Chains A and B, each alone.
Chain A
Amino acid sequence: MNDGGGTHELVVGGLSADVAGRTVLRGIDLTVRSGEIHAVMGPNGSGKSTLAHALMGRPGIEVTGGQVHLDGHDLLALAPWQRARLGLFLAPQYPTEVPGVRLADVLGAALADGPDLAGVIGASVEQRATAEAQRVGLGAKLLERSLNVDLSGGERKRSETLQLGVLRPAVAVLDELDSGLDVDGLRDVARRVAEAVGEWGLGVVAITHYRRLLSVLRPDAVHVLVAGRIVASGGPELADELEHTGYAGYQPE
């Protein structure tokens, strides 16, 4: 994970992928550096979640072409945990329930494994987790509960953001972090992610349908994903425009 200094670079080049024999990604190019926030927007079924999971290496997604490098490491050759170790983080759209495994235990296990964070943490895992829970508006008792079990959609997203704050990744892929959240929740998690960009230079790929996440988490670049291709890229004004016009103007030929 992040060593607390230096800059990181996630480079996606010509990434194509199939899911269940169907081509979903058709050549994605994207470069995200430390401190940058990239929004990926697009209609349902355009391949946004597949992009997120292809970056993290979910089983069942068959990469058919292209490369993904993080700081020069070929991620496509690595298992998900190895990608995580290099500093990639995914907050999935639907965080999985893991009965019997407490959030606090997994955070402890993640941080105990490896010396690279020793100098950065400066506080116990519990202290950090408790502080992060407060920042995203989660009760600290949630740390003692099984991962995502019986959590509302909004609590799960706050929990993902808490994990991001404790683990301090280099690049975070946030897959519809705004879904399931009410207005207060959206503000809390978006603010936390924005602060992480300042605190340790987190690089962000924020996948979303809507502009509302981006009103707090101001993107440096907005990419429009339609039918597995990035069909337009621009500044924050592109998100505003999409809010008015929708994706109708970006249908593939």
Chain B
Amino acid sequence: MPSEAEEIWRYSGIDDFDLGAFSPPAPGRDLTPGELAQARSLADHMGTRCALVVTRNGVVVGIEPEPGLDSATVTVAGAGPLGSGADDGEAFALAPPGGDGDALSVVHDAFLSDVVLVSVGRAVELAGPVVIVHLVDAEPVTSGSVSVFPHTVVRVGPGASAGVVELFAGYGPRLEAAALVVPVSQLEVADGARLAYGNVQILGGGTTQVGLQRSIVGRDAEFRSLTVSLGGRYARVRTDSELAGEGGRSSLLAAYLGTAAQVHDFRTLQDHSAGRTESELLFTGAVADRARSVYSGLIRIHKGARRADARQTNHNLVLSEGAHADSVPNLDIDENDVRCSHASTVGPIDEEQRYYLEGWSRWWPNGSSCSVSSPTWPPARPSRPWSRGWRSRWPSAWPAGCRPKREPAMGDTVRLCARSDIAPGTARRFEVGAYRIAVVRIEDDFYALSDTCSHEDYSLSEGEVFADACELECWKHGSTFDLRTGEPLSLPATKSVPVYPVRVEGDDVMVELP
């Protein structure tokens, strides 16, 4: 099993997760007419569709194409994982585990029962989305709690255009009972194709979800996704989007709201492996009560991906004292001539805005009511060039209510992490507004200094900590810096880096910005 010591599971609470508490999926049964009606009415919220697929605990129980869906060019099917029902001439290849695949994806592959396949032929344009409703019933099983492994494969052929919405919903009388849901969605957008993909999660309050959305986007193709995460006890979604062909574009949006003791956990990868590729990511959410959210994202620009353009933004509103959000954006750039940016904010609602809204409406009855505006679904084709069209819409994609107070600024004292998040003798990097800060722990003492070496633009936190000398070494050229003063102690650096006052309050490591 994975552990929280791994970056990809940091902050997740996975150490407390016990896979042994769950049983493999029970044999499926058909839906009652009432259940089917319920699934249809859920799908109706997604607007006019061209087909409906319903699964119950991972087993396909209904496929309803709308009249007019041309079965010669569009396949909507459900079948066992070995491709017995596939009629597009190919077996259902499962998502490759990938170099850093989650342990739970392996469990998924071992236990999955059915695969939903949506395959859209060359140059076909679907009028409405294919809606897939995954119902999860925490039904009694012989031992432990139920586990469910939905799997969806979407293939959009060259030049085709399609929309797919997946809805994960808890139902039945045991909404609050424990359940494990491990969905995998494999989304392939061929050269020149377009896919608009929605993933809405309203699972029951006892559910643990560990999901994977993996997309691969071809040459001049376009992938747009919107993930909405509202339910579950612990709900994790990993979004990996590879831009594999020249000129491919992806837009990844997510909105989430955590209440009670919910945890929403997002891991994203914008993987640029071809030139002139473009990705935009905006994840916005709010946490109330004792809820937590985690965002950890990476932009990776591979060698050869010249003129790649990647943006990554995560905004979090913390609506109550007991709520908490962690946000860790990262870049890994292996090519020149690229544009990358990332930003994240964590903060409460601006007091002035809150007072104003309270004062003339009755808008704040419980201190956490918050309406969230999301981009229109399904997203219309931008009438302007793709990138301009989307960029200009970003400001309106703020979660309503709801602008984080402001960027952390001069004089603020900011909580960076818990004491235990940094092992003695190590350094870690934090981004606070415009500041990049390396925090070093030596035994029980903490030091904070600017993360950027004064010599060249390298991250000091990736260097070695010399605990005895109280120094940090830049890994690139070997300059060392005094942790107490920021002074350079060896060449090539000749200028000091800024140091910041740190203090530990209880279990929290706090830094005061200059």
Task: State whether the Cβ of A118 lies closer than 8 Å to any Cβ in chain B.
Answer: no
Residues of A within 8 A of B355 (CB): 56, 58-59, 80, 96
Task: State whether the Cβ of A90 lies closer than 8 Å to any Cβ in chain B.
Answer: yes
Residues of A within 8 A of B358 (CB): 79-81, 84
> B359-384 toward A: CB 8 Å interface, digit per residue (1/0)?
11111110001010100000000000
What separation, in Å, do the CA atoms of A99 and B400 have in the docked complex?
8
B363 with A99: CB separation less than 8 A? no
What separation, in Å, do the CA atoms of A83 and B352 have in the docked complex?
17
A80 with B359: CB separation less than 8 A? yes
A106 with B359: CB separation less than 8 A? no
Q: A206 to chain B: closest CB distance in Å?
A: 16
A101 with B357: CB separation less than 8 A? yes
What separation, in Å, do the CA atoms of A56 and B357 have in the docked complex?
12
Residues of A within 8 A of B362 (CB): 1, 81, 84-85, 110, 113-114
Residues of B within 8 A of A79 (CB): 358, 364
Residues of B within 8 A of A105 (CB): 371, 373, 400
Complex: chain A residue closest to B395, CB-CB: A99
B360 with A91: CB separation less than 8 A? yes
Q: Most chain-A CB neighbours within 10 Å: which of B361, B363, B395, B401?
A: B361
Complex: chain B residue closest to A99, CB-CB: B403
What separation, in Å, do the CA atoms of A1 and B403 have in the docked complex?
27
Residues of B within 8 A of A109 (CB): 361, 363, 369, 371
Residues of B within 8 A of A99 (CB): 395, 398, 403
What separation, in Å, do the CA atoms of A89 and B352 have in the docked complex?
16
Task: State whether the Cβ of A92 lies closer than 8 Å to any Cβ in chain B.
Answer: yes
Residues of A within 8 A of B369 (CB): 109
> A156-169 toward B: CB 8 Å interface, digit per residue (1/0)?
00001001100101
Task: State whether the Cβ of A12 lies closer than 8 Å to any Cβ in chain B.
Answer: no
What separation, in Å, do the CA atoms of A89 and B357 have in the docked complex?
11
Complex: chain B residue closest to A113, CB-CB: B362
Known: A58-B355, A100-B402. A106 touches B395 (CB 8 A): no
Task: State whether the Cβ of A19 lies closer than 8 Å to any Cβ in chain B.
Answer: no
B361 with A110: CB separation less than 8 A? yes
What separation, in Å, do the CA atoms of A237 and B243 have in the docked complex?
75
State how many residues of chain A have any CB contact under 8 Å with chain B: 37
A100 with B359: CB separation less than 8 A? no
What separation, in Å, do the CA atoms of A98 and B369 have in the docked complex?
15
Q: A233 to chain B: closest CB distance in Å?
A: 26
A96 with B400: CB separation less than 8 A? no
Task: State whether the Cβ of A102 lies closer than 8 Å to any Cβ in chain B.
Answer: yes
Residues of B within 8 A of A160 (CB): 360
CB-contact partner of A167 in B360, B365, B371, B395, under 8 A: B360
CB-contact partner of B401 in A58, A90, A97, A101, under 8 A: A101
Q: Most chain-A CB neighbours within 10 Å: which of B360, B395, B397?
A: B360
Residues of A within 8 A of B401 (CB): 98, 100-101
Task: State whether the Cβ of B183 lies closer than 8 Å to any Cβ in chain A.
Answer: no
What separation, in Å, do the CA atoms of A146 and B399 have in the docked complex?
12
B363 with A102: CB separation less than 8 A? no
CB-contact partner of A84 in B352, B360, B373, B398, under 8 A: B360
Q: A104 to chain B: closest CB distance in Å?
A: 11
Task: State whether the Cβ of A107 lies closer than 8 Å to any Cβ in chain B.
Answer: yes
Known: A59-B351, A105-B400, A109-B369. A98 touches B360 (CB 8 A): no
Q: B146 to chain A: closest CB distance in Å?
A: 37
Interface residues of A in 1-44 (CB under 8 A from B): 1
Known: A100-B399, A101-B401. A81 touches B365 (CB 8 A): yes
Q: A52 to chain B: closest CB distance in Å?
A: 10
Contacts A96-B355, A100-B399 given; 11 further ones with Cβ under 8 A?
A1-B362, A80-B355, A81-B358, A84-B361, A89-B360, A92-B356, A95-B356, A100-B400, A109-B369, A147-B357, A163-B361
6 pairs of residues in contact across A and B, judged by CB atoms under 8 Å: A79-B358, A84-B362, A85-B365, A106-B357, A106-B363, A110-B361
Chain B residues with CB under 8 Å of chain A are: 351-353, 355-365, 369, 371, 373, 395-403
For the complex of A and B, list the 9 residue pairs with the smallest distance between their C-beta atoms, beginning with the closest.
A100-B398, A110-B361, A96-B356, A80-B358, A81-B358, A81-B364, A85-B362, A101-B400, A90-B359
